[in-house]
Amino acid sequence: MTGKSIGLQLRRNGFKLTPQRRAIIDVISGSEEHLTPSDIYSRLQHKYPGIGLVTVYRTLELLENSGLLCEVHIGDTCRSYLKRKRPGEHHHHLVCAGCGKVVDFVDCELGDLENRLTSETGFSIDSHLLEFMGRCASCRKLVSK
């Protein structure tokens, strides 16, 4: 999903497409890394100065409610976001602890485990959270130098 199509999707949902929102979408779309609100805020200062941190928070909330963002739970902050490449599609993340780069994967194959847990515990299961943490090839090179 491109930055432009994210903007169009917002409009289709009845929201205004302001320059601030374009800029924020632009920053998120142009990053392979997961970004916190203040990461996004500081990246904005270069290309689009003057946008308030409040607007970043509000836009993130809007994009998230519209299903256009992914969350990453890695590390300590639970508040780090990423463009959702294919909205609606079930997937998970492999995250680099060095640079924050995120790779998606769709085959989690947790169905059997889920069924067994359901019958063993009496819980009904609604969803799951799965993330792998590691180091991407280029971050590994840096360390070994």
Partner DNA sequence: GGCTCAATTGAAAATGATTTTCATTTATAA
Partner DNA sequence: TTATAAATGAAAATCATTTTCAATTGAGCC
**Residues of this chain that bind a copy of itself (CB under 8 A):** 73-74, 76-78, 94, 96-97, 103, 105, 107-110, 113-114, 117-118, 121-137, 140
Comparing CB distances to Zn ion, the nearer of 119 and 124 is 124
Picked from DNA, a copy of itself, Zn ion, none, the partner binding residue 5 (CB below 5 to 8 A depending on kind) is none
Picked from Zn ion, a copy of itself, DNA, none, the partner binding residue 127 (CB below 5 to 8 A depending on kind) is a copy of itself
Distance (Å, whole) CA 81 – CA 28:
8
Q: Does 87 bind Zn ion (CB under 5 A)?
A: no
Region 82-121 residues binding DNA, contact defined as CB under 7 A: none
Strand partners, 103: 94
> Are 15 and 62 a contacting pair, CB within 8 Å?
yes
Distance (Å, whole) CA 102 – CA 80:
11
Residues 6 or more apart in contact with residue 66 via CB below 8 angstroms? 9, 10, 13
> What 8-state DSSP symbol labels residue 47?
H
Task: Say whether 105 sits in a helix, a strand or coil.
Answer: strand
Q: Does 21 bind DNA (CB under 7 A)?
A: yes
Q: Which residue has the tokens 């409610």?
A: 65
The distance of closest approach from Cβ of residue 24 to Zn ion in the complex, given in angstroms and rounded to an integer, is: 24
Q: Does 117 bind Zn ion (CB under 5 A)?
A: no
Interface with DNA (CB under 7 A): 11, 15-21, 36-38, 50-55, 57-59, 61, 77, 79
